[in-house]
Structure 1
């Protein structure tokens, strides 16, 4: 069963919605809106990322090898709504309010303030002004967790908006014609990169994790919905070795008078925007902490090395991320029958 409610980050409970937080990326803000764009000058020398259920810490080292000081806008995009949450939670009628999502940012050890901007985005294209011109809402999900914005529209008008890229038939919403845009919140700051210098940026925050209670991974259920298992394999790399370990753990807990259950915790982090800087990430380090030796963890990365009883490390040089990071943590619980 998926969680159907949202909790603030400080609530310290696992079964909340699962935003995929993001790498810093250079942004361009103009009359047409906000656009994440590749940097033609700034190099990300290193990224040191720590992810756990309780906290996320990331430290970047940027360098400006040019002979001029570069002033730019740096954006930290939050997950697009509603599409980022379609298969993560049930109640999408209410938009996630990121204004109370607190995280600390430091530049060269000094705290900095971030500005929050909300935009309507279609595949990286900012359509906020057009949406406002038409009088349409930024966040369009109704009480039925879809939208009837185009339902009563004549076919010619609907086709015109499909051609404009503002509407589309979306399988996520049962093949209905729904708005093509998502509401995206950007935390932005103005950043100066002095000529020939290095700038260190640090973020720290308590993540809001997604999760479910039992079902999908259980041996008796796995064969009934192959689509879900394919999604797990693609998203979390849950291979046969992981599933065998999962089965063993449940079998070990199978005792008279004991009912064994498990819960899933989902963590996500957007790595792909880190490829927007000039060249690859010179030195990349990831540490995933599963929280307890009794838990199982799975995520898609090669070269994973266990460095502590609950911690797993990945190191890469000249890293060009081509996918985002999704982490599955499985916890086991005993209940008396």
Structure 2
């Protein structure tokens, strides 16, 4: 598949780059079915922005019998560490991506399966027994760990469930170190020979930096090769970065980075292995932002939106989006987009 990039809307501003201050991004994706080869993905309309992801599907049961199966939405695994910062929309909720779903316009109340692991050993019941929230990020988990006895704390540290908060040079305070695996799921029946519409919405995990990590000291750094491969950052994108940097009197590249990832390859798991009618729409959020992502036949359909359409689409690549945001809005935008 040909992979081209989109780069749009340059603004000249001023912002120093601090490449070591980053927030990681969780990769999220679409629905997964139980064991069945009778259901086709007839259509997928995928919209991605920094505020929300919406996915509208049409599934078809191609058999002559009704099919009842589990439909699941796997959440990204959360691996706790005091040395990392990750983009979690809501650290106070088990439904930390604010996931919701409808089937044929009717709201579904999915079940939530959550398990915690340390050194590949399930420690879910131990955490629950001591009233420790399973979500390892957030104030609630850290506060609950402070209530544990010294014996339990020592045991959990030995087993890799918790570790000292070395990031803040506090070796007496324990912080979570377990992995959380979460899945929303529900039973669904797909009538024989009929189409069923399924829609779900959630808040994406958004990562980024407070500066530009791939261009400084007047040149693209070696890590830019990864940006070219992952986001298809092309010559148009490179020129926008270079021109903005030259125009900035402080000599810094005047952008911060924002990353969003969506796992699309699971869309090839249906009975035909392809998505019959696929539409991808990406909203960069502000006309002054730059955006780059891989796609074929991408068109600009609005001041901030880009779209690609395909028939019988085989999702061989996931969707990775790079949005560059100017630090200040002191000049009118110049559109360099395709």
* TM-score grouping bracket, smaller chain normalisation: 0.5 to 0.7
Normalising to structure 1: TM-score of the pair?
0.68
Distance 1:204 1:90 in 2: 20
Residue 245 of structure 1 aligns to a residue in which SS? helix
Pick aligned residue for 1:233 from 228, 233, 255: 228
Q: Does 1:72 align with 2:69?
A: yes
**8 Å Cα contact 1:104-1:204 kept in structure 2:** yes
Q: How does 1:241-280 map to 2 (within 5 A)?
A: 241-252=236-247, 254-255=248-249, 261-279=254-272, 280=274
Q: How does 1:294-309 map to 2 (within 5 A)?
A: 294-309=288-303
- Structure 1 segments, 4+ long, off by >6 Å, are 85-88, 135-141, 257-260
Matched with 1:50 is 47
Structure 2 unaligned residues grouped into runs of 5+: 1-17, 129-133, 143-154, 160-177, 331-338
Matched with 2:28 is 21
**8 Å Cα contact 2:267-2:315 kept in structure 1:** yes
**8 Å Cα contact 1:302-1:314 kept in structure 2:** yes
Matched with 1:89 is 85
Change (3 A) 1:260 1:327: closer
Pick aligned residue for 2:112 from 103, 116, 126: 116
Structure 1 position 101, deviation (Å): 3.0
Per-residue CA deviation, residues 25-50 of structure 1 (Å, 9 max, x unaligned), is 113xxxxxxxxx6x411000000011
Task: Using CA pairs under 8 Å that are at least 6 residues apart, name the structure with larger relative contact order, 1 or 2.
Answer: 2
Per-residue CA deviation, residues 262-293 of structure 1 (Å, 9 max, x unaligned), is 11111111111111111111000001111122
Distance 2:26 2:278 in 1: 22
**8 Å Cα contact 2:116-2:123 kept in structure 1:** no
**8 Å Cα contact 1:266-1:328 kept in structure 2:** yes
Pick aligned residue for 2:284 from 290, 306, 311: 290
**8 Å Cα contact 2:87-2:207 kept in structure 1:** no
**8 Å Cα contact 1:260-1:332 kept in structure 2:** no
Change (3 A) 1:58 1:314: same
Distance 1:276 1:250 in 2: 44
Change (3 A) 1:204 1:140: closer
**8 Å Cα contact 2:112-2:183 kept in structure 1:** yes
Distance 1:326 1:61 in 2: 24
Q: Does 1:330 align with 2:324?
A: yes
Per-residue CA deviation, residues 27-80 of structure 1 (Å, 9 max, x unaligned), is 3xxxxxxxxx6x411000000011111221110000011111111111111112
Change (3 A) 1:87 1:247: farther
Residue 50 of structure 2 aligns to a residue in which SS? coil
Pick aligned residue for 2:182 from 182, 185, 189: 185
**8 Å Cα contact 1:80-1:184 kept in structure 2:** yes
**8 Å Cα contact 2:69-2:188 kept in structure 1:** yes
Structure 1 unaligned residues grouped into runs of 5+: 5-14, 28-36, 122-126, 144-148, 154-180
The count of corresponding residues between Structure 1 and Structure 2 is: 273
Normalising to structure 2: TM-score of the pair?
0.68
